[in-house]
Amino acid sequence: MARKTKLQLGKPTRLPASPDEAQLDRVPNPHADTHYVARFVMPEFTALCPITGQPDFAHFVIDYVPNRFLLESKSLKLYLNSFRNHGGFHEECTVSIGKKLNALLRPRWLRIGGYWYPRGGMPIDVFWQAGKLPKGVWVPDQGVAPYRGRG
């Protein structure tokens, strides 16, 4: 995977126009000898329906057990926000994000939960994971309630 070597952290950075233009950064894990879970939550993810162009909204929860690298959070925010003008089905967006993070970080374990808000009357939740959770690692519930409408 070709990556730029300069981090975006600590300097002004424009929002990438698309996920293909976005740069994800990683940094060395200072506790690579320890198994622990790091979590990122993006409660206001937006992408476009590839058919209608209408906006789709999701709540993403990304959990991973780092290995040699950590995900740099500013680059993740920019990457996830670059989907705002990207046309992709819920499954495509969720799984492609998981695969890209997995390829970049090569974590011991990674999972992504995409909790999509309903449009057209039906929510679609998408889950993807890679690797094997190390024995004894505590992973909290993702904390996103099932969709219940107004009830």
Q: Give the 3-state secondary structure of residue 11.
A: coil
What does the longest C-alpha to C-alpha distance in the chain come to?
49
> What sections of 50-135 are H helices per DSSP?
73-81, 90-105
3-state helix, strand, coil in the chain (%, to 5): 20, 30, 50
Amino acid type, 2? A
Q: For 119, which DSSP code?
A: S
Of the residues 49, 63, 93, 141, which is catalytic? 49
Residue tagged active-site, from 20, 33, 56, 93: 56
> Among this protein's residues, is 93 annotated catalytic?
no
Q: Which positions are catalytic?
A: 49, 56
